[in-house]
Structure 1
Amino acid sequence: MNPASKEELLALKNLGPKSVAQLVDIGITSSDQLIELGTEEVFRRLYFRFCDEQRLSVNYLYALEGAIIGCDWRLIPMDRKQELKNLLKGLKS
């Protein structure tokens, strides 16, 4: 992966080295890809790739959403947070 691409992902709000490494592992190497796929699809891919190895939380979902829309995850509206919680619940069932 191009180091500039990694830096581009790291520059997004809410994403750190561990989450960027996981994104790269599932083939996401740019902010454009992340935005194009959207929170739900990216998280599904992460969940199915890493669910046996690591616990992926609702906070991770919030972080992805914040990175995609360009805000701190704590500023995501409550109704959207509920939608994301429902996504995680659906994946776990």
Structure 2
Amino acid sequence: MPKPASSDNFRRLPNLGPKSQAMLIAAGIHTLADLHRLGSVAAYLRVKRQGGNASLNLLWALEGAISGLHWQEVAREHRTSLLLALEDAERRA
């Protein structure tokens, strides 16, 4: 299993392209430490609330950035648990 990125700068992560990075920065998420602190679901919701045009692929990419997995593997292996966590977080908000 790949190791999570140790760099505090998420700009080097392969799962997050320039548009994703721009959405994160606009939502106040500037570092990998910020992303770890929030978690993928809360970070995704923050981007969505900020008005970012984010698809679920961003959620997969964020989880991949945290876990060190490729976003496509996250989508295959963790889709259901992430969608349930997203639904729960939206219901609580």
| TM bin (shorter chain) | 0.7 to 0.9
Q: For residue 71 of structure 2, what is the aligned residue in structure 1?
A: 73
Structure 2 unaligned segments of length 5 or more: list them. Answer: 1-7
In structure 2, distance between residues paired with 1:74 and 1:88: 21
The answer to whether the 8 A contact 2:16-2:62 is kept is: yes
Aligned counterpart in structure 2 of residue 58 of structure 1, from 47, 56, 59: 56
Kept in 2: contact 1:13–1:70 (CA 8 A): no
1:90 CA displacement? 7.3
Partner-residue secondary structure (3-state), 2:50: helix
Alpha carbons of structure 1 residues 9 and 90: separation in structure 2 relative to 1, 3 Å: closer
Hey, which of these two has a bigger chunk of helix by percent? 1
How much has 1:39 moved relative to structure 2? 0.5
CA positional deviation for 1:69: 0.9
Percent identity (aligned) = 34
Given that 1:58 and 1:84 are in contact with CA atoms closer than 8 Å, whether structure 2 keeps it comes out as no
Alignment of 1:34 onto 2:35: yes
**TM-score, normalised to structure 1's length?**
0.72
Q: Which amino acid aligns with 2:15?
A: N
Mark the CA change 1:77 to 1:58 in structure 2 (over 3 Å): closer, same or farther.
Answer: closer
TM-score by length of 2: 0.72
Structure 1 unmatched ranges of 5 or more:
1-6
Count of residues paired in the alignment? 82
Across the aligned residues of Structure 1 and Structure 2, the Cα RMSD in angstroms comes to 2.5
